[in-house]
């Protein structure tokens, strides 16, 4: 057969497979309905963040690719095998591997279109920003899809029928969703689960995709995650091709499970390499992330362009002289000392709450706004040691969207309900003013 006829035949097989997939209810459910369902579910939980879903897009896209590759692909392959389609394909005068490659390309297009729809819907419905590295996200998508399509091919080789695909697929899907850093964020998981996640491809998939949304450097520094996905995908895909069954009557044997064990060894190798290189150290939740702020990061914070203390924004009165504190400032300081939210269990969140008070007074143009700004600063210095306070304020500045902010404090006579984004913005400005004074980089 000439090369031209071979390519023409493969193109026709590709178009036919694409058409059949779009006619399949199961393919549409796994390919498009499941990603949209998870988008709505995540949006219901995280829509209060600013901006919504930005820090969850890596998880959402991973779920889309995982569902399409580990359920959609093997379901289609096994259903066609049961109908005798692949037995007939084997009689064609074309390399059988090229037919499998054509099928994988069809699934790649379906998964890619589902991911694109998910990104666009998140933008339209929740105003989630688009990826900051639009070119790199395509590269990340290829790495993640390679790993998961390899796993899907292995599932198709192991499953005797379509119900078995569902069972085997769940054995991959549920662990990665629950303790693999895909459905539940790593920082929320206990330490042991975070370490177990390091042996699963889902953790590295989320890492690659999320970097394209929130990491200023994109995929720079993500080499290990790329290698991990390539190793897992190559092992699973290679063994899936070796064990691929063309006829439904052929059953798995003991040697099949031995080959499956070899594929799982790739997961173990990746996890051990991650452990040896210190990549499986527990991830801190956002509430205590200030402990990871380094002195170098603090030194890199600049203070140019800050509004003056007597300007309209972020007013701050001079230090109170001994025994000459204004009466209304003394009264507010007494109220602040008994304000329960100022004593949150986590110091980082407690500081954010206190900064919110200064920000609310400033945004609401309270007559005491400058004095309240000073009272909050004095209270922070009284409660926390110098180094700890510097790290917490630096965390507020460097991670403005972390933690929670308060938008209304009626118990302190600050009753206006304000925009969360404005409170976060002013909190950062006050944090800079306070940190600059603590480090003696700003005059007080």
Q: pLDDT tens-digit profile of 64-116? A: 999 888 888 888 888 888 887 777 777 766 666 777 888 888 888 888 988 99
Q: Rounded CA gap, 331 and 329, in Å?
A: 5
State the total domains in the chain. Answer: 2
Cβ(38)–Cβ(60) below 8 Å: yes
- Given 235, 264, 283, the domain boundary residue is 283
Say whether both 136 and 195 belong to one domain. yes
Q: Is there a single domain that holds both residue 266 and residue 369?
A: no
23 lies in some domain:
yes
pLDDT of residue 370: 92
Are 71 and 210 contained in the same domain? yes
CA dihedral 103, 106, 112, 114 (to 10 degrees): -110
Domain range for 395: 291-438
Cα atoms in the Cβ-side hemisphere of radius 13 Å centred on 117? 18
Confidence at residue 218, expressed as pLDDT on a 0 to 100 scale: 78
Say yes or no: 404 and 265 in one domain. no
Do 297 and 232 fall into the same domain?
A: no
d(CA 29, CA 35) in angstroms, rounded, equals: 9
Element (H, E) at 54: none
Higher pLDDT, 5 or 183: 183
pLDDT digits (tens, 9 = 90+) for 275-305: 998 888 776 655 467 887 888 889 989 998 8
Whether pTM > 0.75 for this model: the answer is: no
* Final residue in a domain of this structure, among 261, 283, 305: 283
Q: Is residue 444 part of a domain?
A: no
Structural domain includes residue 443: no
Is position 154 within any domain?
Answer: yes
65 and 117 part of one domain: yes
Per-residue pLDDT at 121 exceeds 60: yes
Do the beta carbons of residue 54 and residue 128 sit within 8 Å? yes
Does the structure show a pLDDT above 70 at 373?
A: yes
- Partners of 37 in beta bridges: none
Instruction: Tell me the pLDDT of the chain averaged across its residues.
Output: 85
Which of 283, 313, 334 is the C-terminal boundary of a domain? 283
355 membership: H or E segment, kind and range: helix 347-363
* Same domain (yes/no): 398, 342: yes
In a domain, 375, yes or no: yes
């Amino acid at each position: 057969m000439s090369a031209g006829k071979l390519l023409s035949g493969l193109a026709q097989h590709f178009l036919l497979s694409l058409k059949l997939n779009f006619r399949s209810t199961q393919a549409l459910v796994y390919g498009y309905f499941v990603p949209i369902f998870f988008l709505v579910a995540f949006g219901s939980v995280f829509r209060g963040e600013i901006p919504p879903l930005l820090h969850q897009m890596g998880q959402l896209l991973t779920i889309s690719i995982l569902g399409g590759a580990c359920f959609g692909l093997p379901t289609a392959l096994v259903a066609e095998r049961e109908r005798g389609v692949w037995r007939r394909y084997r009689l064609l005068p074309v390399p059988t591997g090229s037919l499998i490659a054509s099928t994988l390309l069809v699934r790649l297009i379906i998964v890619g279109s589902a991911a694109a729809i998910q990104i666009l819907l998140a933008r339209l419905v929740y105003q989630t920003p688009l990826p900051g590295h639009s070119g790199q996200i395509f590269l990340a998508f290829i790495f993640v899809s390679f790993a998961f399509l390899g796993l899907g091919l292995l599932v198709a080789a192991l499953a005797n029928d379509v119900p078995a695909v569902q069972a085997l697929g769940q054995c991959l899907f549920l662990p990665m969703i629950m303790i693999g850093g895909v459905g539940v964020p790593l920082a929320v998981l206990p330490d042991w689960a975070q370490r177990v996640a390091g042996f699963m491809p889902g953790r590295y998939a989320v890492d690659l995709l999320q970097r394209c949304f929130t990491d200023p450097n994109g995929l720079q520094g993500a080499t290990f995650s790329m290698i991990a996905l390539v190793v897992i995908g190559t092992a699973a895909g290679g063994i899936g091709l070796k064990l691929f069954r063309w006829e439904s009557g052929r059953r798995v044997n003991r040697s099949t499970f031995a080959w499956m064990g070899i594929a799982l060894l790739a997961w173990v190798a990746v996890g051990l390499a991650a452990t040896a290189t210190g990549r499986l150290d527990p991830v801190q939740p956002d509430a205590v992330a200030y402990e990871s702020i380094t002195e170098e990061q603090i030194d890199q914070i600049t203070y140019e362009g800050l509004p003056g203390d007597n300007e309209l924004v972020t007013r701050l009165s001079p230090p109170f002289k001994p025994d000459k504190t204004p009466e209304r400032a003394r009264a507010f300081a007494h109220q602040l000392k008994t304000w329960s939210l100022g004593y949150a269990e986590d110091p980082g969140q407690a500081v954010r709450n206190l900064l919110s008070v200064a920000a609310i007074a400033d945004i609401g143009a309270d007559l005491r706004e400058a004095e309240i700004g000073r009272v909050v600063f004095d209270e922070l210095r009284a409660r926390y040691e110098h180094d700890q306070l510097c790290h917490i304020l630096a965390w507020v500045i460097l991670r403005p969207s972390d933690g929670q902010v308060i938008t209304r404090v009626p118990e302190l006579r600050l009753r206006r309900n304000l925009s969360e984004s404005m409170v976060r913005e002013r909190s950062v400005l006050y944090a800079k003013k306070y940190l600059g004074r603590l480090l003696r980089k700003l005059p007080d």
